Structure 1
Amino acid sequence: MFPLFRKKKKEDIQLEGLTNTIDSAELVDSPQQGDQDSEVKTELSIHPLWNVSKEQYYVFRFLNNELPTLKPNQLSLSGIQWEETPEGLSVTAFIRNSLKKPIQLEEVPLILLDENREVVAKHTFNLHDAGEIPAESSRPWTFVFPKESLLKDHLQKEGWTLAFDLSTKQHQLDLEPSWEQSLPDEEKKKLQQLVSQLEPPKKNELNFMGLEAKMLQSGDLAVTLLIRNGYEKAIQIQQLPLRIIDANDAIAAEGQFNIGQLEIKPNTTKPWTFIFPKNNIKKSAPDLSSWKAVVIQKQD
């Protein structure tokens, strides 16, 4: 029986841990949905194999009602309580899903932080047994950190955080479905090797790296860029004003691109080709032996 169920007074029942929230694209492959400024209140979802009494259900429902709302397309962990067990440290928390569809988590690295944000334990959990987390729901689940995963031997009862460990995730190539279908396997392999060899973008940085620029027979200029996202959230690009600078530091082309809804997932690089029409070419026969792409700022 969880210690919180032994508490008789309602005012004594509370969430002992804090909340950690990430963009869902960090762990699940799902397109962004919904108004990003709206709020999602997650409904309580008890695992079908959990046999909980009415009292226990009411306690979970009470705690779930105390949780902060989420933005669309987020995953979150909200700590309920922890206790020592013969196996290690048993941590109970809500797994929260604000997506408009159910998700199934598998291998997920987690860390346990103390009140000073120092790591107490880290372990990779197979969450297949947690089952499918319904859309816009919160599911209580217990995570057991084995004794060998503990890095500290002291943890306050309140103020701790169970968090997704994103430090283990390497910067990766992400292709749009159209590229995935049309690009030869050999070209995909070359891109993957290039992305793995490049130094990742800095944290909370979005940058553009030139990959290829060539004049077409039509007189248009085709420029392929690597769009590199160093944020821990997905970036949506709808419009992009670009300027191409050639080897002589001259403006070769510039124009405004209405992309629609191009999503750059967290910690990924996405290639994209921009076609500058002839009337956007600013220099005849630009020297493209070396070049760079610059996002035009409003004051430019």
Structure 2
Amino acid sequence: MQELLFEASWEKALSTQDRQNIEDIFNETKHFSTSDLLFSTLRVAINHKEALLVTVLVHNFSNQLLTFNNAKVSYYIEGECIAERTFTLSALAIPSKVSMPWTFIFPKGNYIARPSYENGRLEI
């Protein structure tokens, strides 16, 4: 059965409202195991450094540890690749049958400017 875990820094920093939102989305999506990996979008924003922040719930439905070592991650909206970057994230190691929230940061210049970044999907 799928389990929800938070990386240590998330555990400390999450507000009660954000935690509840993540738990609600986890409960809605934890049975969508049509593939080994699924990203459920939680929030998309542009920060003060003009970086695109894509916060997702990463579902590892596989029987193996999921790591991000030189993993090319792309963000698509309506079939168009808006952002792409290669990530090596030593802090993000998701055990088998575990879901964990994470924010992927695409610095200014690594994404296409547009009026809205909503309704997109993250892919490896």
**TM-score, length-normalised on structure 2?**
0.84
| Correspondences of 1:78-117 after superposition (within 5 Å) | none
The one-letter code sitting in structure 2 at the alignment partner of 1:265 is P
| Correspondences of 1:26-37 after superposition (within 5 Å) | none
1:212 alignment partner, SS class: strand
Residue matched to 1:53: none
Unaligned runs of 5+ in 2: none
Residue 182 in 1 paired to residue 13 in 2? yes
Mapped to 2, the partners of 1:227 and 1:270 lie a distance apart of: 5
User: What is the aligned length?
Assistant: 124
Task: Check whether the contact 1:201–1:228 (CA below 8 A) recurs between aligned residues.
Answer: no
2:109 alignment partner, SS class: helix
Residue 270 in 1 paired to residue 112 in 2? no
1:279 alignment partner, SS class: coil
Mapped to 2, the partners of 1:260 and 1:200 lie a distance apart of: 27
Mapped to 1, the partners of 2:67 and 2:80 lie a distance apart of: 30
Mapped to 2, the partners of 1:220 and 1:186 lie a distance apart of: 24
Unaligned runs of 5+ in 1: 1-169, 296-300
Residue 246 in 1 paired to residue 77 in 2? yes
Task: Check whether the contact 2:67–2:89 (CA below 8 A) recurs between aligned residues.
Answer: no
Residue matched to 1:260: 90
1:284 alignment partner, SS class: coil
2:38 alignment partner, SS class: strand
Residue matched to 2:31: 200
Task: Check whether the contact 2:29–2:40 (CA below 8 A) recurs between aligned residues.
Answer: no
- Give the root-mean-square deviation of aligned CA atoms: 2.1
Residue matched to 2:119: 290
Identity over aligned pairs, percent: 23
Q: Stretches of 4+ moved more than 4 A in 1?
A: none
Task: Check whether the contact 1:173–1:191 (CA below 8 A) recurs between aligned residues.
Answer: no
Mapped to 2, the partners of 1:265 and 1:174 lie a distance apart of: 10
Task: Check whether the contact 2:63–2:97 (CA below 8 A) recurs between aligned residues.
Answer: yes
Change (3 A) 1:236 1:186: same
